[in-house]
Structure 1
Amino acid sequence: MRTAFATLALAVAFSFPALAADQVEKAPPAGAYKKVSTLVKLPDFLPGLGQLYVDPATLPAGPFLAYDRDGRLVSTVYMLPIEDLSDKDKRFDDLAAPGGKVDHVDVYFNAGHPGVEKPHAHIVLWHVSKADETRVAGK
């Protein structure tokens, strides 16, 4: 009986990451995520990032989920304020990748924009290959 219960518990535990990825794989994502363009004055599609969704309770850092024009998840983006990164007492631990497997990561500075006005770093966890980043290229 214990072995069956332990096996069931492990099966349930290991199914949650896959379930979470399924819930965000296509736009709109499940849960408290809202389209960023409905929260602040930004276009629906941002060249280089795509269409963004965020749980407003997680602002300003995110995670923001980024989708291509067909509503397929391409990346998870964190927007970490520079002032927080330079604070020795501030930490960003256990940053999740709701979309699952990360192919590669980009980090770059942004001077600020509606929704995250202060200078910040974009941490982009790409769920697609470098070649597939073109799915969010400008047009």
Structure 2
Amino acid sequence: MIVSPMPHARCLPLAAVLCVTLTMAWPPASAFAETLKSGRFTGASGHDVSGAVTIESGEGGAVLRFGPDFSFDGAPDPKVAFGHDGYDPATLIGPLKAASGAQSYAVPAGLDPAGYDEVWIWCEEFAVPLGMAKIE
């Protein structure tokens, strides 16, 4: 081990890098997002779907987030979409990423989530609702 008579001269650049790295990594990206709407999933058509869902607004646009408590019992071809008094196929966001846990979906730029009061998990193949969350 080599000990410099002026250890701070060697440590200063490293300390500065560490400080910058820590500053840039904190806080998490979603900390500055504004929650626009939120709700909780319930199952449909005999399926078990549960967990929290939020719509957040940030610099990059709106994001649909499923909470870490999200759970879905499974079915073929599950998709995520919005609705207003029912599923709206024109709002299809994409396939469900996972049957459980936290996940997020970028809301397409031309789709304004303010006009919808539901988030759907929909079986596209059989045109059957799997779960829905009322969002306010």
| TM bin (shorter chain) | 0.3 to 0.5
Please state which structure has a larger fraction of its residues in helix.
1
Q: TM-score, normalised by structure 2?
A: 0.35
TM-score where L is the length of structure 1: 0.35
Please identify the structure whose Cα radius of gyration is greater: 2
Structure with the higher fraction of residues in strand conformation: 2
